Structure 1
Amino acid sequence: MPRDHSTKKNPQDLRSARWFAPDDLRSFGHRSRLMQLGHAEGDFRGRPVIGVLNTWSELNSCHAHFRERAQDVKRGVTQAGGFAVELPALSLDESFLKPTSMLYRNMLAMETEEMIRAHPLDGVVLMGGCDKTTPGLVLGATSAGVPFVYLPAGPMLRGNYAGKTLGSGSDAWKYWDERRAGNLTDEEWVGLQGGIARSAGVCMTMGTASTMTAIAEAMGLSLPGASSIPAVDAEHQRMAAACGRRIVEMVWEDLTPDRIITPAAVRNAAVVAMATGCSTNAVVHLIAMARRAGVPLTLDDLDALGRTTPLVANIRPSGQKYLMEDFYYAGGLRALMKRIEDMLDTSCLTVSGRTLGETLEGAKVFDDDVIRPLSNPVYHEGSLAVLRGNLCPDGAVIKPAACDPRFHVHEGPAIVFDSYPEMKKAVDDESLDVGPDHVMVLRNAGPQGGPGFPEWGMLPLPKALLKQGHRDMLRISDARMSGTSYGACVLHVAPESFVGGPLALLRTGDRVRLDLPARRLDMLVDDAEIARRRAAWVAPAPRYERGWGWMFERHVSQADTGCDFDFLRTDFGRAAGEPEIF
């Protein structure tokens, strides 16, 4: 039966009432255990119970402030008459997890869904920000179906060293090339290391973290303006408390995610992503998030939007100069969305209880160089393009605005590497026979081959080319790359080579052609030869024999469909486990 949203819930209709309201032995146990924690019965009975899902960890510098922010959220819940309980959730830090945090995104999604389903929660505040925490939390909460608000961690402060403004990730790659070329001293390298990340918060470039929090806000899942606030700004504390107050209201309103994550809201999120100069990782996560909500988003849909959406956020790495702190001062995401308002469906409902259009009223741009007018975009099309061809029949992605335009149409001989260690050893060999027109290829780095789809796609330039002054070349892989990366990198080649995709059949010396305007990527090898190689190809052994990795590689989908698990699709079956059936 569809929900009746015309009236507000009564206390007896709360989901948590199933645990606490009945006069029976099991509910006696539930109430007594909360009283064991020092709560009075009046603290939780008849009040919305709000779960605060916190991805804080001492090995997640992006979320270093989340211990305090959880208290801000709980204060807001209490102010609105709710009862807040904090629950730890898997913390996926981009910097420390090996082989890649992407291996564990679906673990966080499953944990989030099951924690919500199994506990007496009427609504949740999701605390995330570092790359995979946003999609992981949203995937799980969408499937669980209770009201939720997403609280983004916010970007860190600008980096600084020797009078230079530094962007996390982007400048790491830039100065590492200079280090390898012999242009940086040890003292300078240590100074850069200490100055590039100066506070709690996610990367302050438009990397995957800020991309995904912007997507969450554009989709209507965060409070207006929440994704732009720097992590250590006092406004971030106020926003966290506002999330706590708002989620209590959402529970009474029964404002569930199915009312917010609609096809129009997903399209809004994709358009905003393109306009911000988003991370290539947005493709994988946005497709997965949409499909969890029953919206059949495809690569072709994203490419079509990319062709018609100008890039207006002048934020590195796609932009030329600024960082997320500058973006906030220029008006933030609300100002950007106001600027492209005619491209959005402003009738979409948001977690604020208002339409997107209503949340944009009064938004202004305060710096036209940071958030460009439509008449003067950073790039005439959006951030991403989708390629097809005999190397990637199911698609591949590239970030045109972040690479040298001379590679938009390019042909050259391939240098193929079967593993990351093999590639890393070769690029540091100054005798490597390579020229600027070569095409570097890394395979066996996809969802199953990586394992886990690691961020290896921004292949380091060979040292020999760096010393000649080159700083870009065409690179192709079935891996991902950091959203803070840049360069002529073709990524997410699907199907991946590990499962027999055409990239597995490419050989060193084969000519490869990229035609970005035509959206083509091909190996210039005749069909008969490709067929012979196909017949001789032998599948590699699985990466894992037990545990999570074993489960992951047997159930993960390919990059073009979001790398979700097959058994978590909306059409797989109904989720059992709601308390009333036990």
Structure 2
Amino acid sequence: IDIPLEIFDQVSRRVPHICNLIGLGGRYDMLDFHIAGGIPALLSELKDLLYLDVMTVTGKTLGENIREAKVLDRRVIHSIDSPIHPEGGIAILRGTLAPDGAVLKTAGVPTNMMMFKGYAKVCDSEEEALRLVMNGGLKEYDILLVRYEGPIGGPGMPEMLQITATITGMGLNDKVGLITDGRFSGATRGLCIGHVSPEAAVGGPIALVKDGDVISIDVKSRRLELEVSKNELDTRRAGWKPKYKPFKGVLSRYVKLLKSYMDTSVSQLS
């Protein structure tokens, strides 16, 4: 199924953020959400945005399933007319650093970082990035760029859990940015941009970034720009060589056959 990446951005712009939950930068947990009415209550609040006639596994339509549902605690599930944020929690960014797109969970981004410009601190693995952060290598207005962690470079596009947790634990999540061709968990906080495509292992622009390069991020305009001239990037590309981790067996075969994850084909296997 060919699903354009822009669809996720279009839906997010139409559907407001109305759940005040911890994983989205809010206050309440999943038990509170359940007590407030849970998924049926949430869907009933969003009913004007849903196709209520679709049949579900219950044998009833979606509209029938949520007909009696009510929101029992407005502190947890806000009204669609009084949302926490007017747009949803996902943004698809594009620009010179991510021509094929990148993904940001906007619900976890501090207000002061919705438009941000910083200086790249480049690491070629999560392990290298973790050492840099633990040794005090990040300061305000830095953007930690972790590459070669995509589907091919990882391989398998590993989750950048350790590095995001460490940045948050050190109180830096409202001071620095994080950009990667890897992925994040749903509990990420801060300006954390993942799924950058094309990934570094296939020669995407993220592979050409150097320490100190200026990167600008404009969440509202959905832009992710590497402020380096085309001539300079062409010079860097001429000297670039891909980096592959020394895996054997199945992982080695996987790396050779997999295409970048933004492509509609998963592999070249017939």
CA offsets, 1:20-79, max 9 Å, x none?
xxxxxxxxxxxxxxxxxxxxxxxxxxxxxxxxxxxxxxxxxxxxxxxxxxxxxxxxxxxx
Q: Using a 3 Å threshold, how does the CA distance of structure 1 residues 537 and 481 change in structure 2: closer, same or farther? A: same
How many residues were matched structurally? Answer: 267
Q: Distance in 1 between matches of 2:212 and 2:265?
A: 31
Instruction: Name stretches of at least 5 consecutive residues in structure 1 with no aligned partner.
Output: 1-290, 573-582
Q: How does 1:160-559 map to 2 (within 5 A)?
A: 291=1, 296-430=2-136, 432=137, 434-456=138-160, 458-459=163-164, 460-461=166-167, 466=170, 470-472=172-174, 473-541=176-244, 543-547=246-250, 549-559=251-261
Deviation at 1:541, TM superposition (A): 3.4
Identity %: 34
Q: Distance in 1 between matches of 2:185 and 2:212?
A: 28
Code of the aligned partner of 2:105: K
Q: Distance in 2 between matches of 1:525 and 1:471?
A: 25
Q: Distance in 1 between matches of 2:143 and 2:39?
A: 37
Contact map agreement 1:438 1:474 (CA 8 A) in 2: yes
Deviation at 1:346, TM superposition (A): 1.2
Code of the aligned partner of 2:227: L
Q: Using a 3 Å threshold, how does the CA distance of structure 1 residues 379 and 557 change in structure 2: closer, same or farther? A: farther
CA offsets, 1:172-193, max 9 Å, x none?
xxxxxxxxxxxxxxxxxxxxxx
Q: Distance in 1 between matches of 2:160 and 2:51?
A: 36
Contact map agreement 2:94 2:102 (CA 8 A) in 1: yes
Contact map agreement 1:442 1:476 (CA 8 A) in 2: yes
Contact map agreement 1:448 1:543 (CA 8 A) in 2: no
SS of 1:449 mapped into structure 2: coil
Contact map agreement 1:310 1:379 (CA 8 A) in 2: yes
Contact map agreement 1:392 1:521 (CA 8 A) in 2: yes
Q: Distance in 2 between matches of 1:406 and 1:477?
A: 21
* 1:560 corresponds to 2:266: no
Structure number with higher helix proportion: 1
SS of 1:421 mapped into structure 2: helix
- TM-score of the superposed pair, with normalisation by structure 1: 0.44
Code of the aligned partner of 1:560: M
Instruction: Name stretches of at least 5 consecutive residues in structure 2 with no aligned partner.
Output: none
Structure with greater Cα Rg: 1
Q: Using a 3 Å threshold, how does the CA distance of structure 1 residues 557 and 309 change in structure 2: closer, same or farther? A: farther
SS of 1:446 mapped into structure 2: coil
SS of 1:492 mapped into structure 2: strand
Contact map agreement 2:173 2:189 (CA 8 A) in 1: no
Q: Considering only aligned residues, what root-mean-square deviation do their CA atoms show, in Å?
A: 2.1
Contact map agreement 2:25 2:189 (CA 8 A) in 1: no
SS of 2:116 mapped into structure 1: strand
Q: Using a 3 Å threshold, how does the CA distance of structure 1 residues 345 and 551 change in structure 2: closer, same or farther? A: farther
SS of 1:532 mapped into structure 2: helix
Q: Using a 3 Å threshold, how does the CA distance of structure 1 residues 494 and 452 change in structure 2: closer, same or farther? A: same
Q: Using a 3 Å threshold, how does the CA distance of structure 1 residues 352 and 556 change in structure 2: closer, same or farther? A: farther
Deviation at 1:561, TM superposition (A): 4.7
**More relative contact order, 1 or 2 (CA 8 Å, 6+ apart):** 2
Q: Using a 3 Å threshold, how does the CA distance of structure 1 residues 543 and 453 change in structure 2: closer, same or farther? A: farther
**Correspondence for 1:223:** none
Deviation at 1:526, TM superposition (A): 0.3
Deviation at 1:462, TM superposition (A): 9.6
